[in-house]
Copies of this chain bind each other. A is one copy, B any other.
Amino acid sequence: MDEQQRARRPGGRGARVGAAVHQAVTDLISERGYGKFSVGEVAARAGVADSSIYRRWGSLETLLTDVALTRLNARSPMPDTGSLAGDLRAYAANVAREITGPDGLALLRLSVALSSNGQQGLQARDDLLAERTRQLQSMLDRARDRGEHAPDAFGVLDHVLAPMYIRVLLGMGPLTPDYVDGLVDRLL
């Protein structure tokens, strides 16, 4: 059994290390913000060796993305309401709630920060985006399977997600339910 398999075995030492490291990252993010700590500080907080983190995640960027994806997926399951309008409204409302929370803004900033962080950062950002795109695509595919007319994932990105992201990134006020529903209705 190699290190990666050990790391993945539920309940084993790998799982305990994983949980401790994720918790350390979460704590350091809320205390200092994304990008304001090193692998060494995460390791010290989690009570593991730096080398354990490098062996398992390869870099701080990959670790941050793993934490972000884990939290994102745990919190925002994709809705399945039976209609595209219902799905997209529920999805947009979830995203709005998520990115207006303190962790969501950190997640948005992480995506932006990763884009300027060299090749590993780009890979980490691509993983983060690919996961969101995959989730969104399956919602749009379900709608097409039901015979509904559906925009493509880029349409949702450009006209539902981007306006919400930019308003939050620029600190432009709350995302009201009317505003969020309006973005979806306008797209459909």
Q: Let me know if A170 and B111 touch, CB within 8 A.
A: yes
CB proximity of A60 to chain B, nearest CB, Å: 18
Task: Give the residues in chain B near A169, CB-CB below 8 Å.
Answer: 111-112, 115, 169
Residues of B within 8 A of A134 (CB): none
B125→A170 contact, CB < 8 A: yes
Report yes or no: A163 in contact with B158, Cβ–Cβ below 8 A.
Answer: yes
User: A157 to B169, alpha carbons, bound, how many Å?
Assistant: 13
Q: Does A166 contact B (CB under 8 A)?
A: yes
Q: Is A90 in the interface zone, CB < 8 Å from B?
A: no
Contacting pair B166 A129 (CB below 8 A): no
State whether the Cβ of A91 lies closer than 8 Å to any Cβ in chain B. Answer: no
Determine the chain B residues whose CB is within 8 A of the CB of A77 once the complex forms: none
Contact, CB under 8 Å: B125 / A116: no
Q: Is A171 among interface residues, defined by CB-CB distance under 8 A?
A: yes
Instruction: Tell me if A122 is interfacial: C-beta within 8 Å of chain B.
Output: yes
Q: How far is the CB of A104 from chain B (nearest CB, A)?
A: 13
Query: In whole Å, how far is A143's beta carbon from the nearest beta carbon of chain B?
Result: 20
Which A94-116 residues sit within 8 Å CB-CB of chain B? 105, 109, 111-112, 115-116
Nearest CB on B from A46, distance (A):
26
- A49 at the binding interface (Cβ < 8 Å): no
Inside 8 A of A158's CB, which chain B residues have their CB? 159, 162-163, 166-167, 183
User: Min CB distance, A175 to chain B, in Å?
Assistant: 11
- Having A158-B163, A158-B167, one finds 17 other A-B pairs with CB under 8 Å, namely A33-B116, A109-B112, A111-B169, A111-B170, A112-B170, A115-B171, A129-B170, A157-B163, A158-B162, A158-B183, A159-B163, A161-B166, A162-B163, A162-B166, A162-B167, A165-B166, A169-B169
Give Cα A166 to B115, complex, Å. Answer: 11
Q: Once the chains are docked, how many angstroms separate the CA of A163 from the CA of B122? A: 19
